[in-house]
Homo-oligomer: A and B are copies of this chain.
Amino acid sequence: MEEVLFATGNRHKLEELGRVLRECGLVPRTVDVAKLEVQSDDIGVVAAYAAVHAYSVLGRPVLVEDAGLFVNALGGFPGPYSSYVYKTIGLNGLLKLLEGVRERTAVFRSALAYAGPWGVVVFKGEVRGRIAEEPRGSAGFGFDPVFIPEGVERTFAEMSTEEKNRISHRARAARKFCDWLRGGRKPL
């Protein structure tokens, strides 16, 4: 099993990503490295900068993930700042912003950036859905309790990691990364 360095302090991300990577013969090992997060409407740019920075510090190829929840009726908010918005106004703040709003569609997006001597490559995944009327479930993390993916009646927080991984933005990005790595198209 080949080891892949993954710069994160989020155990939920590690668990979700780890399952997908192990399916393709990779083992993620987390590394603790000072994080450089730039501001950008594009989480691919955020992840790419962070990965290049982590690689410059570690001197070894490293994977970084950035994700965000983009609510259509709110112009894409909270988007790249989902983690900050979750920490400050939380689930209740998001639901308050949507009080009386019927158009509740949203997209969860993930961008995985893998930096090394080749530069950096980015893989994106997304899942469409809608914002629930109230939080449900206790699995997952962040805005999971208010996100209902298309074609399902449960929130991400009401699913096991296995179920969530079948459709999640993060798992989709991770599978693209695996395909690329396994496809022999490693740019080295």
Chain A residues with CB under 8 Å of chain B are 36-41, 46, 74-77, 79-81, 84-85, 87-89, 93, 96-97, 99
In Å, the complex CA distance between A89 and B88 comes to 15
Distance of A144 from chain B, by nearest CB (Å): 20
Contacts of A74 in B (CB 8 A): 88-89, 93
Tell whether A93 pairs with B97 under 8 Å between CB atoms, given A39-B38, A39-B81: yes
In Å, the complex CA distance between A42 and B148 comes to 33
| Residue among A39, A41, A80, A89 with most chain B CB within 10 A | A39
Distance of A55 from chain B, by nearest CB (Å): 17
In Å, the complex CA distance between A37 and B88 comes to 20
Contacts of A36 in B (CB 8 A): 38
5 extra interface residue pairs, beta carbon distance < 8 Å, beyond A38-B39, A74-B89, A76-B88: A37-B40, A39-B39, A75-B89, A77-B85, A81-B84
